Amino acid sequence: MNFLSQTIANKPDPNWSQVQVIPIIESQDPLVPLGLVNSPLRSYPAYFHQGVPGALNECYVRRSVLFRLYKAARLLPTGIELVVLDGWRPLPVQQYLYDTLHTVMTTHDTQQNETELLAHLRQFVSPPSDNPAAPSPHLTGGSVDVALCDVEGLLLDMGTEFDDISFWSASAAFETITKPNARESEVIENRRLLHSVMLQAGFSNLPSEWWHFDYGNQAWAWATQQSQAQFGVAERLTLAQRWLKSVTSEV
């Protein structure tokens, strides 16, 4: 068994009260767009294509995250490519995702009390926060949602769709099947492949989502037992903001 076929361990969800007190020493690593990136990386801004209000038509990540995505992509076997579905998010997009899922769960998951519901919700969407000391992971530019595709751009079977909120979205969910059928065996190998190359490239994985990986932010620092995080809230300045910054710096 090589590192690409390692069993995915069933890990607990992050202890968010511990995550949010990890100090952030901002590295000033800039956000960079993935639209100009060539093979072996693909970019498909999923929320934009789904019509989520405020979603960007481009995926942005911190520069050092991009370098690690390159490393992960180059570890993949010939014929398989890495697809980035989401990276940095503006706060309004995070708010929309959180509110929408909260509404769905409140309406249809009536067996849980409010505390249980919020804990379940947080497994899939973090509460919106641009607090410099405890930002939502995707607001840092250090979180990425990724999948695998073939050379034609067809997504591989990962067991669920991106952003599914069922039990089967957990990274290790299919590892619990004792006698997998052909399709389940394919899913297991696809997930192991994605998980392995991303961890080899320096990312950590959110156990409740096979597609979500972190680098440099508080979630990554907690998962990898680092004493501090490198990324706080990231900003993508508008043209007017960049001009104003340039003008004021000359005064």
- Would you please indicate which residues are annotated as catalytic (active-site) residues? 209
Lookup: tokens for 219: 């979630």
CA 116, 121, 123, 126 dihedral sign is negative
Beta strands 80-86 and 41-43, pairing class = parallel
**Beta-bridge partner residues of 117:** none
**What are the residues whose beta carbons fall under 8 Å from the beta carbon of 13, sequence distance 6 or more?**
123, 206, 207, 208
Which residues share a beta bridge with 143?
A: 214
Residue ranges of the annotated binding site for Zn(2+) are 138, 145, 212
List, as residue ranges, the binding site: 138, 145, 212
CB contact at 8 A, 11 and 219: no
Tokens 């999923």, residue located? 46
Element (H, E) at 43: strand 41-43
Tokens of 180: 């997998």
- CB burial class (10 A; 0-12, 13-18, 19+) of residue 67? middle
